[in-house]
Structure 1
Amino acid sequence: MLGLSMMWGVSGASHADVVASIKPLGFIAAAIAQGVTPVTVVLPDGASEHDYALRPSDVRRIKSADLLVWVGPEMESFITRSASQLPDNKNLELTALPVIQSHLVAETGDDHDHASTHAVALKSVKSSERELSDSHSHQGTHNMHIWLSPEMALLSATAIHDRLVQLMPAQKATLDSNLSQFIANLQHADEGIRQQLNTVKDKRYYVFHDAYTYFEQHYGLSPLGYFTVNPEIQPGAQKLHEIRTQLTEHKAQCVFAEPQFRPAVIDAVSRGTGVRKGTLDPLGSNISLSPDSYVKFLSQLSSQYVSCLKPMN
């Protein structure tokens, strides 16, 4: 049996190589492709999907991939041109799938009222062939951080499974088993994470950018808002004044930064308020690809919330 370091990083002539645009999609793909084919990730650790530029080696890797897995042009614009040059059966654009589109929520400005939303229980999704849509109706109006939704992660895993079965029908039994194990692991982790986050679900906080809506809705968290929708654009003076007012009135327990973005604006706005500062990593940059890396990713994110939101003694 091949070691994980061989399975996830090295291309072999007898394998259909899977290339994921970002690490969380690599986590999901690694679980499905376990024992079948290598999985690699384009976006390097520490980089942002919002402003990355492909290197020549990235372009070559995508061009030679047997399957590219990505969210879509509204999220990874850096990969759009290379993806368009691949045959349809090798280009798995997840937000172009109707089953994923039906779960997307609109960007809602500063409105973070989750009272009208509800967490959808994870359930087994039947494996079925799903073709890519030819149109893109999002145009930047929807939240594209789909990997932060446990339910859409499960749907993405199913889509990856289906496409790999098409590419490697002889491996169907292994791929079926891997998908079943992924579903079971995710359901188990989901229950534990929900219990962990129940202890802080009423605590209010700010995040740096609007990446966490699906995770927050699924687990019933209570954000006050975010500094910016696009992390490449600094928030304006009025926005910062509103946040500062909320912090000085002690309406927030915590302000979260991110490893990819450490804006001085967070320090400046929170200075002197007594509000705690934490870090959320929406890309799992310190987690290595493995069969259980997506579950580790969700668990780590949950712990990052709790570490800053837990009641102070």
Structure 2
Amino acid sequence: MPDQRLPASVRRLRLTLTFLLLAVALPAVAVPNVATDVTPVHSLVSQVMEGVGEPRLVIQRGASPHSYAMRPSEAAALENANVVFWVGEELTPWLGHALGNLAPDARQVALLHAEGTLRHAFRERVLTETAGHENHDHADEHGHDAEEHDTHGHDDHAEEVDDHHGHDHAGHAHGGIDPHAWLDPVNARRWLAVIAETLAEEDPANAPIYRRNAEAGQAEIDALLEHVQGEVSPVHEQAFIVFHDAYQYYERRFDMNTVGAISLSDATDPSPAHLAEIREIVGEYDVQCVFAEPQFNPALVDTVLDGTSARTGVLDPLGSDIATGPDFYPTLIRQLTDRLVSCLAGS
């Protein structure tokens, strides 16, 4: 117990010296250097690491992940990483090679293949064979059964699809796994736990913080699921067309009615025949909205809309206009919901 007879200034100096001596005596706890691939993954890792450290983002906001050219600072982030969280080679085939060269000793976690992740096979054709709500039978292209989940999907059953890749369309290996799995918040909920347990194993001293942060993030996602379900419920049967087929995880989770995609790949313009087919779908299925994406040619959307009463909006699966950080992921899902509902409701 401090000697109360000593002046307060002396007692404070004693306490300061004691803390300094303890700090010197105890070994420093090194927080892992963590790198991530895309902004949604960076956001989830940032949530788990909040108060401990910050992950490095390798693929900058607004850039296409399919064929990204890293800057020297981003390559250095991989080289210095103890842990790398990424979606997987299905989204960034080039990154697997970079990890082998730059981070061979780092712990590499491909979240798309983490236990409990719900996966869907790529759709070779979005709607033209299974228009309207017929495409919501929740079975992938390889004939596997639908995911089993309740209204909010708070189970961790993963839908397995054939991992053997078919022909490659501009960075996406169609015929394999669709990598846009972050657009199902139930996957993000699962990934928070995977991230927390990985970091807890690498950094046991901060394990309670990682786990507490993950639980808080999961509670936020529970609320987000309920919010989105309530928002889309009045318009979920309205037909719409997307620019490219990146949204099926969101569509299946919330039973939305996508009836076509303008582009069947990320880097090549659709053929005139395909555009004509999409225009027919607009009329046949009473399409309410045709959505562009900020990275792609808006003139193609104008071509589809010409002479129709359909409205137009903009969707972005990577949230290129959202600030990176812990709040990015819930903001992305809310933005996607707001833009879908606004256009479909005509507001």
Question: Is TM more than 0.5 here?
Answer: yes
AA paired with 1:161? Answer: A
Residue 256 of structure 1: aligned partner: 291
User: Higher RCO, 1 or 2 (CA under 8 Å, sep at least 6)?
Assistant: 1
Partner of residue 208 from structure 1, selected from 231, 243, 259: 243
Partner of residue 75 from structure 1, selected from 91, 97, 101: 91
Alignment CA distance shift 1:88-1:226 (3 Å): farther
Partner of residue 109 from structure 2, selected from 82, 92, 117: 92
What CA RMSD, in Å, does the superposition of the two structures yield over aligned residues?
2.2
Q: Work out whether residues 15 and 38 of structure 1, in 8 Å CA contact, stay in contact via their aligned partners in 2.
A: no
AA paired with 1:95? Answer: L
Q: Is 1:149 equivalent to 2:148 in the alignment?
A: no
Residue 195 of structure 1: aligned partner: 230
Percentage identity across aligned positions?
30
Q: Secondary structure at the match of 2:90?
A: coil
Q: Alpha-carbon deviation of 1:276?
A: 0.8
Q: Alpha-carbon deviation of 1:289?
A: 3.0
Q: Is 1:110 equivalent to 2:125 in the alignment?
A: yes
AA paired with 2:41? Answer: L
Q: Work out whether residues 89 and 163 of structure 1, in 8 Å CA contact, stay in contact via their aligned partners in 2.
A: no
AA paired with 1:106? Answer: A
Q: Work out whether residues 239 and 289 of structure 2, in 8 Å CA contact, stay in contact via their aligned partners in 1.
A: yes
Query: Equivalents in 1 of 2:323, 2:148: separation in Å?
Result: 28
The superposition leaves residues 224-276 of structure 1 with CA deviations (integer Å, 9 ceiling, x where unpaired) of: 01122321122122211111112245621011111222342121221221211
Q: Work out whether residues 84 and 106 of structure 2, in 8 Å CA contact, stay in contact via their aligned partners in 1.
A: no
Residue 205 of structure 2: aligned partner: 170
Q: Which of structures 1 and 2 has the bigger CA Rg? A: 2
Query: Equivalents in 2 of 1:240, 1:54: separation in Å?
Result: 34
Residue 22 of structure 1: aligned partner: 38
Partner of residue 34 from structure 1, selected from 38, 46, 50: 50
Residue 154 of structure 2: aligned partner: 123
AA paired with 2:39? Answer: K
Q: Alpha-carbon deviation of 1:62?
A: 1.0
- Larger deviation: 226-235 or 21-30? 226-235
Alignment CA distance shift 1:97-1:119 (3 Å): closer
- Larger deviation: 215-224 or 79-88? 79-88
Partner of residue 194 from structure 2, selected from 119, 141, 159: 159
Alignment CA distance shift 1:291-1:122 (3 Å): farther
Q: Work out whether residues 114 and 217 of structure 1, in 8 Å CA contact, stay in contact via their aligned partners in 2.
A: no
- Larger deviation: 111-120 or 63-72? 111-120
How many residues align? The count is 288
Q: Alpha-carbon deviation of 1:115?
A: 3.1
Residue 5 of structure 1: aligned partner: none
Matches within 5 A, 1:229-268: 229-249=264-284, 251-268=286-303
Query: Equivalents in 1 of 2:55, 2:107: separation in Å?
Result: 14
Q: Is 1:63 equivalent to 2:83 in the alignment?
A: no
Q: Alpha-carbon deviation of 1:75?
A: 0.7
Alignment CA distance shift 1:250-1:98 (3 Å): closer
Residue 132 of structure 1: aligned partner: none
Query: Equivalents in 2 of 1:249, 1:233: separation in Å?
Result: 26
Query: Equivalents in 2 of 1:31, 1:124: separation in Å?
Result: 21
Gaps of 5+ in 1: 1-12, 126-135
